Structure 1
Amino acid sequence: MSTRQQVLVLYLATSALDSETVGWSRYDGTARTSPTTGDGDEPPYKSGVHALEDGWRLFQAAQLIPPYPGHEYDVSFLKHEFFFEKLVEVDAGDGTARTESSR
């Protein structure tokens, strides 16, 4: 068995981890899914707290940078970005994956 990483990026409405998810991306190091297939129109979790409750580990939170004076209402990137991970064991023999939380 070997361990692979799954990454979940949630873009939240505010800097609070319990605020609503407004965008997301997934990346699967097990090669079982593709980020371009998408998850439909519904986010995988309503908030970052919901992802934590499902076993995802937070490893990077958005850096809070105040806007420059006069640019408070400019449209730009989604600034409340949170990175989560799950470590998954992959059995090289049959290709099955199992998360650490399912042990």
Structure 2
Amino acid sequence: MRRQQVLVLYLANSALDSAVVGWSVYDGTGATRRMAGDEEVPPYGNGLDALKDGWRLFQASQLLPHARGEEFDLAYLKYEFFFEKLVEVAP
């Protein structure tokens, strides 16, 4: 039986090889029950490293320009990338 693991990486800019500035990991296998974004060190240095480790990219944030006057607004992390792995688990 397969279960999905989801990795969300927030990058410094829209390039997959830019630095990770925030992250979350959700484990549909049930092997881990905590959210892994609480750690000090991200699981990968950038999105490309996650691809090299077998994660599949399935969504990236739409690139929208900032409205005039909001170029330096830090209210949210703009460059969000969703990755998945399908993992075999015993029934």
User: Does TM, normalized by the shorter one, top 0.5?
Assistant: yes
Question: Distance in 2 between the 1:55 and 1:15 partners?
Answer: 20
RMSD (Å) for aligned C-alpha atoms: 1.3
1:101 matched to which residue of 2? none
Q: How does 1:65-84 map to 2 (within 5 A)?
A: 65-84=64-83
Runs of 4+ in 1 over 6 A off after TM superposition: none
1:74 shift after superposition: 1.6
1:99 matched to which residue of 2? none
Contact 2:26 2:35 in 1 (8 A): no
Contact 1:21 1:46 in 2 (8 A): yes
Gaps of 5+ in 2: none
- TM-score, normalization by structure 2: 0.93
1:35 shift after superposition: 3.4
1:62 shift after superposition: 1.6
Contact 1:25 1:35 in 2 (8 A): no
Question: Equivalent residue of 1:50, what SS?
Answer: helix
Gaps of 5+ in 1: 93-103
Percent identity for Structure 1 against Structure 2: 64
Question: Distance in 1 between the 2:41 and 2:17 partners?
Answer: 17
